[in-house]
Structure 1
Amino acid sequence: MPDSLQLSVVVPVHNEEDNVAPLVAEILAALRGRIDFEIVYVDDTSRDATLARLRELQATTPELRVVRHLTNAGQSTAVRNGVKAARAPWIATLDGDGQNDPADIPALLAKRDASAPEVKLFAGWRVNRQDSGSKRWASKFANAIRSRLLRDATPDTGCGIKLFEREAFLDLPYFDHMHRYLPALMQRAGWQTVSVPVNHRHRTAGVSKYTNLGRALVGIKDLLGVAWLIQRSRRTAVEELPGQGGPR
């Protein structure tokens, strides 16, 4: 990894052609001159001009890298592949629809710098949701059930903007939709997590990739699976004993 890079911004996208350029511009405005960073977009087999727009932006944006899925794999896989491709020790994630505000990333970084080293995840908390009423209700209901079952002390796990340590993330168990359970998974691994209030915006272009019913049906199975993982988790401190024979 380049020694100078401090942050990789990972953005998964699928059919977001009209959101790519504005979001890249906002990331640059938020981070240029503040920190050494890169932007890693992961295109999950978009059928529109998303990939073409990204390729055009690469010509004028040296920070921008593009990873392309050869088959459709979903958001969690896109996030994981973006993190694997990233070259910085810390990762910030954003949804590709523009509803997350890149201007919140410096606040997450400041919160990290003021926190104990045991805190490996800073999760965005949408205190002023700009979604439809039905979507807000469904999210509130799902968050309540998740919080009661997993006891992860996190008011909003569905927010796309997060800041976490790359190494800690890659050590987590991987499964589809895991991005919705990062606080519980980080806590299961023995790390601390913090929720940070962030801005939330209306989608201005494109359409949502999820329905309330579809998200709920998948979420039930995922929630039970994560609860099982937590119950079966075992952790212990380890130490390496010094050798007695000297160097060989």
Structure 2
Amino acid sequence: MNYEFTIIVPIYNEQDNLERLEQELSRYVSRTRTKAKVLLINDGSSDRSQELIENICTRNEAFHFLEFAENRGLSAAIKAGFDHVDTELLGYMDSDLQTSPEDFDLLLEHIGEYDLVTGVRADRKDSFVKNMSSAIANKIRRTFTHDGMDDTGCPLKVIKTEYARRIPMFKGLHRFLPAMILLQNGKIIQIPVRHFPRTAGQAKFGLWNRLLGPLIDCFAYLWMKKKYINYTIAKKG
């Protein structure tokens, strides 16, 4: 099958969510008009996630996996997805199912005109502390990047693969994906998507890596912006 769209799903100790993840993603890829497949990336899980992932991929032709030798973090898992995708478009979502793969169709409607389309979580179903720390972190990040995005922590995104592959990833850069597309003179837009409470497993981000960590990463982004190489070929012969 000539796939057009790969959905990257980083996974770390999410054994309790994987059955429902399989159900929702398999239902989505079977009905969406865009020919889609799924790449599950096991970021060194210590629970039964890998066993379940292999079973899922055995049952579903459109599902594939990568397994890290050890836990390397979310940015590394996303980069591995960027490196191994072979379709013109790629998407990204978390395995906790606080966003729905069905909403990828909302983002795909705009990807022709734009190079990155990101969701913005409407009516978030998180705790007050989590919502407040995310709001503060987003405000700090916008001050540094001027990307105009209200919710870069939303995991639901669609990116043209050629742009994703040119992003020089470092740990924490998953929060700066829209800004890194702007450095390539790409076009970005945010679209409201649904948000759901987590029903299984545990959140992997606390106050430190939701608020203080991103503040430190902003300075790394400024360094990269100053050093970033971007060029356009006018003619070749």
Match of 1:15 in 2: 13
**Alignment length (residue pairs):** 236
Match of 2:160 in 1: 165
Counterpart residue type for residue 213 of structure 2: V
| C-alpha distance in structure 2 between counterparts of 1:85 and 1:212, whole Å | 32
Conserved? CA contact 1:30–1:105, under 8 Å: no
TM-score by length of 1: 0.90
Counterpart residue type for residue 104 of structure 1: D
| C-alpha distance in structure 2 between counterparts of 1:234 and 1:72, whole Å | 30
Match of 1:45 in 2: 44
Counterpart residue type for residue 171 of structure 1: R
Identity %: 26
Whether 1:204 and 2:199 are equivalent positions in the alignment is yes
Conserved? CA contact 1:31–1:106, under 8 Å: no
| C-alpha distance in structure 2 between counterparts of 1:206 and 1:19, whole Å | 7
TM-score by length of 2: 0.94
Match of 1:93 in 2: 92
Q: Could you report, residue by residue, the CA deviation over 1:186-233 in whole angstroms, capped at 9, with x for unpaired residues?
A: 101111111011111111000011111233232122111112322444
Q: Could you report, residue by residue, the CA deviation over 1:72-118 in whole angstroms, capped at 9, with x for unpaired residues?
A: 110111111122222211101011111111110111111224x2xxx
Q: Secondary structure at the match of 1:59?
A: helix
Q: Secondary structure at the match of 1:38?
A: strand
Match of 1:110 in 2: 109
Q: Could you report, residue by residue, the CA deviation over 1:16-44 in whole angstroms, capped at 9, with x for unpaired residues?
A: 00111211211222231422221000001
Superposition deviation, residue 142 in structure 1: 0.8
Q: Alignment RMSD, CA only?
A: 1.5
Which stretch shifts more, 130-139 or 216-225? 216-225
Larger Rg: 1
Whether 1:174 and 2:169 are equivalent positions in the alignment is yes
Which stretch shifts more, 18-27 or 125-134? 18-27
Q: 5+ unaligned residues in a row in structure 1: which ranges?
A: 243-248
Conserved? CA contact 2:8–2:38, under 8 Å: yes
Counterpart residue type for residue 30 of structure 1: Y
- Pairing of 1:209-224 with structure 2 (within 5 A): 209-224=204-219
| C-alpha distance in structure 2 between counterparts of 1:195 and 1:177, whole Å | 20
Q: 5+ unaligned residues in a row in structure 2: which ranges?
A: none
Match of 1:75 in 2: 74
